[in-house]
């Protein structure tokens, strides 16, 4: 049987082309990440000085910083995470511990996964209808509520996944000692899954701290310092949005600096979460 050399060569060639394209695709993906980060550093570092952290957002044409925006972002993110995390952890606990195989759980799991990737601007509209319209004005509370709605699905997902990794023998051993189920969950399962659950919370923080759309018409924006939760509050993403689209050069420079800060924070959080998750998750 004669070997069909030509045909074999053709197959090899086509395979090499495919392999080459796969390499190119990966190169392209990495290049995009590289170019985005390089642009951010190049444009953002230029405006980075102590004033950014010490002064309020300026009117056009004058100097200023991002202090009120940074503070506003921190306040709303912290409230949002503090409200959303316990709810998410409890719901995830139900899915993993009490109702692991029940019909209701699979429906909730399904809906939760949809909420996880649902458009965040819709969350903004929802909170607008729920809180802003009845209250009659925009407020930091509404902004924090919108963020909390985004935190819940992320935390539910990771909590459930992490609790499912906890070996059943641990639960059985504690039950055999006579521990009631709620204590088994809180003192044994939570302890075993702690690193993974913290990872989930960190990822949720990373996700909401960069969110702009849900804050646009809940917390609105505020050019001045405000510690009143019942009043509009500035946030870093919304300020970036407003300043980047403005025609003023000093505003645009501040927008780039803000963008650099927020990206640095978000990427640090997600790398930290990944590191924590990979090194200490239950096996």
Q: Where does this chain touch another protein (CB under 8 A) — which range of 49-57, 88-96, 162-170, 190-198?
A: 88-96
Give the Å distances, CA to CA, from 129 to 25, 85, 123, 142, 232. Answer: 43, 23, 10, 10, 16
Q: Where does this chain touch another protein (CB under 8 A) — which range of 48-56, 63-71, 72-80, 114-122?
A: 114-122
Which of the 8 DSSP states describes residue 1? -
Percent composition of the chain: helix, strand, coil (DSSP 3-state, to 5): 75, 0, 25
Q: Which is closer to another protein, CB of 29 or CB of 54?
A: 29
Q: Where does this chain touch another protein (CB under 8 A) — which range of 51-59, 72-80, 117-125, 163-171?
A: 117-125
The single residue among 67, 83, 105, 281 that binds another protein, judged by CB under 8 A, is: 105
How far apart are CB 126 and another protein at their closest, in Å?
5
Report d(CA 56, CA 64) in Å as an integer.
6
Q: Is 223 in the site for another protein (CB under 8 A)?
A: no
Q: Is 45 in the site for another protein (CB under 8 A)?
A: no
Neighbours of 146 (CB within 10 A): 31
Q: Which of residues 2-31 bind another protein (CB under 8 A)?
A: 11-12, 14-15, 17-19, 21-26, 28-30
Find, among 186, 214, 194, the residue nearest to 80 by Cα.
214
The answer to whether residues 253 and 51 touch, using CB atoms and an 8 Å cutoff, is no
Report d(CA 134, CA 123) in Å as an integer.
16
The single residue among 114, 136, 279, 283 that binds another protein, judged by CB under 8 A, is: 114
């Amino acid at each position: 049987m004669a070997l069909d050399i030509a045909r074999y060569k053709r197959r090899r060639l086509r395979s090499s082309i495919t392999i080459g394209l796969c390499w190119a695709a990966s190169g392209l993906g990495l290049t995009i990440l590289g170019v985005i980060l390089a642009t951010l550093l190049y444009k953002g570092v230029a405006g980075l000085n102590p004033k950014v952290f010490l002064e309020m957002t300026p009117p056009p044409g004058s100097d200023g910083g991002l202090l009120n925006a940074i503070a506003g972002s921190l306040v709303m993110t912290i409230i949002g995470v503090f409200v959303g995390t316990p709810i998410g952890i409890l719901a995830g606990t139900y899915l993993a511990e009490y109702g692991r195989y029940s019909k209701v759980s699979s429906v909730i799991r399904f809906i939760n996964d949809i909420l996880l990737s649902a458009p965040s601007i819709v969350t903004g509209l929802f909170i607008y209808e729920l809180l802003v319209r009845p209250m009659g004005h925009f407020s930091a509370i509404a902004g924090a509520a919108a963020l909390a709605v985004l935190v819940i699905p992320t935390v539910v997902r990771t909590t459930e996944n992490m609790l499912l990794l906890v070996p059943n023998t641990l639960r059985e051993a504690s039950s055999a000692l006579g521990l009631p189920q709620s204590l088994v969950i809180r003192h044994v399962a939570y302890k075993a899954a702690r690193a993974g659950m913290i990872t989930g919370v960190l990822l949720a923080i990373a996700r909401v701290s960069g969110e702009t759309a849900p804050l646009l018409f809940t917390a609105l924006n505020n050019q001045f310092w405000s510690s009143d939760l019942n009043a509009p509050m500035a946030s870093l993403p919304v300020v970036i949005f407003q300043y980047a689209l403005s025609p003023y050069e000093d505003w645009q420079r501040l927008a780039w600096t803000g963008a650099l800060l927020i990206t640095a924070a978000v990427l640090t959080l997600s790398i930290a979460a990944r590191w924590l998750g990979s090194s200490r998750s239950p096996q």
